[in-house]
Amino acid sequence: MVNLKHRLRSAVLSVFSKGNDPMKGTLSYQGDPGLFGPESVTWRIISDVSGFMAGLRALMVQAAHPEVVDGFSDHSQLHYDPIGRISRTGDYVAVTSFGAMPEVQQMVAMVKKIHERVKGVSSRGIAYSANQPDLAAWVHYSLIQSFLVAYRLYGDEPLSNQDADRFVYEQINLAKLMDIDILIETEEELMQWIQHHNAVDQTQSTRDIMDFLRRPPMSFSMRLGYSLLFDAATNSIPERIQQVLSLQATRFGIAKGAFFTKALRFSMGFSPSLKLAYDRLNKAYPDNRWFIDL
């Protein structure tokens, strides 16, 4: 059993751990609760392993916006290393969710600076800049929705409608830091905004990235778990967005995702970034959160 846990943990980390150690200096900020703090719903949702599916799902949904996906394609290595992008997004999520405020501010400033270079004209002839509030909003809210949907489906415990709304409302704090002027307050508003967004469309960049995400270069043992995550993500995406991405829901995709997420939680516990945040606050860990040295 111990060997099985180790093998599963190693397989997942070999795929997704391509980022840096995003909170290596966080203990220098003793007592700083960060942007959200331990009483937030954000700490509960983001700390769960359902976030692995959320990261993949967010990238898929983001690819449904032509200006966003062309920005990815023209200014990043997304075609060649989409998993690396998911890992770097994971670093961003970890720091903004669990980091001390100086770390949050540094991460936000770094992302904005990178975005300054992401400018161009999309394949449908529309000028874009990654720091445009509307494009930043699509990236932000597709990520937030993905974490919420993933936790609703695969989280360690049920989420009330009230707490789902609290999670969305809490994310306004981050949206404001990112200079996003579309401020969504409830789960229902978020779901409707994504589902009925008038900019979604398919481009060649969309097709290229989705082709890569369907069949990324990885070993057979890694591909099995990845395919479960991919199917789970596909089945959780609204039908209109599925059509733009040329996706089709698979039979038992949600059930397979639930099985795999439980296996991940068994082998990996909860986010090590959450552990660091509690250590920074010198607070006891919640009884329903346990951690494994990775």
pLDDT, residue 77, reads 63
Q: Show pLDDT as tens, one digit a residue, over the chain (294 residues).
A: 445 555 555 555 555 555 568 899 999 999 999 999 999 999 999 999 999 999 999 999 999 999 999 998 887 765 566 666 677 888 999 999 999 999 999 999 999 999 999 999 999 999 999 999 999 999 999 999 999 999 999 999 999 999 999 999 999 999 999 999 999 999 999 999 999 999 999 999 999 989 988 888 777 777 778 888 899 999 999 999 999 999 999 888 899 889 989 988 988 889 999 999 999 999 999 998 988 765
Q: How many residues does the chain have?
A: 294
pLDDT, residue 36, reads 99
Rounded CA-CA distance 114/260 in Å is 34
* Residue type at 264 in one-letter notation: L
pLDDT, residue 9, reads 57
pLDDT, residue 5, reads 53
